[in-house]
Structure 1
Amino acid sequence: MSRITRALCALALLCAPLSSPLAAGGAIVHQAETSLEAALDGLQAAILERGLYINNVLDLGEMFARTGADLGFTEPVYGEARSVEFCSAVLSREMMREDPTRIVNCPFVVSLYTLPDDPATVHAAYRAIPAELQAASPVMREVAELLDALARAALEW
């Protein structure tokens, strides 16, 4: 490979957005350089723009910091962490009509967090829906696409 080709490849990697899905422990994670507050605003706006209802915004970072101190844990897990619970009455009803055990997928949740050693990178994570389930169920594919679109929208805000 020529020096120019290598340089162009390196430049392309440097210019590529940090948002790339990482499957980790049953989750899909996207990441980007932004602030958690901006990502939270973007996520809430994207949810509301789709006519969905936000049930709750949980400040998990504060909760883990408080309970960690109570339990004697001194190292923080997150810099900041928030989870947004929301619902789509249509998608929820369709997925549960198809299989009542899918109640465990409701409400939908997208979590945003930073790590203590990297506060400039926000991670947007949600529960992964297995590819085979998406292939077998159009509604579960739609749920997976919705979660992915919302996580990406949060980081692009």
Structure 2
Amino acid sequence: MVSQVVVGSDYQSTREALVEAIEAEGLVVSAVIPFNGMLARTAGDLARAASPFANAEIVQFCSAALAWQLLEEEAAQIALCPLAISVFTTVAEPGRVVLAYRTPGQGTAGRIKAENLLRRLVARSAELARLRW
């Protein structure tokens, strides 16, 4: 996992900045998963008190060119698609906004390209979020 605390911003500004950064790369957000909502709905069924998150969403997106490169390298790399970046705040620290993603690793040229894209998107999102807030 790779995570970055976004200093000088709030959750909503960071979430909007993440979507903007993805779209600025010419990519399309394919889904925004309301992860905290799922945890809140299922907490009672699983004997949990409540979600540890104040806010938590997973933003999924894909680059067709990168997907092709990954799949041409090794068909099993389909498991890396779509790429996703999470944005969250916790109940314990509601003012601390975090962006996080699963690293695709460095094993192939496509994985390195995916890692660089994710790193660039997180850095750009943090920068835009600070400007918005």
Q: Same fold (TM over 0.5)?
A: yes
The code of the aligned residue for 2:81 comes to C
Candidates 67, 71, 75, aligned match of 2:42: 67
RCO (CA 8 Å, sep 6+): is it higher in 1 or 2?
2
Equivalents in 1 of 2:86, 2:34: separation in Å?
A: 10
Comparing 83-92 with 146-155, which one deviates more in the overlay?
Answer: 146-155
1:109 aligns with 2:80: no
RMSD over aligned Cα, in angstroms? 1.3
One-letter amino acid matched to 2:10: S
Partner of residue 32, structure 1: 6
What is the match of residue 57 of structure 1? Answer: 32
Which structure has more helix as a fraction of its residues?
A: 1
Structure 1 unaligned blocks of 5 or more: 1-26
Distance 2:51 2:64 in 1: 36
The letter for the 2-side match of 1:31 is V
Write out per-residue CA displacement over residues 11-51 of structure 1, whole angstroms, 9 at most, x where no aligned residue.
Answer: xxxxxxxxxxxxxxxx1111123211111101100111111
Range that drifts further, 102-111 or 138-147? 138-147
Q: Greater CA radius of gyration, 1 or 2? A: 1
Matched, 1:144 2:126: no
Q: Contact 1:128 / 1:144 at 8 angstroms: preserved in 2?
A: yes
Equivalent in the alignment of 2:97: 122
Which structure 2 residue ranges, 5 or more long, are not aligned?
A: none
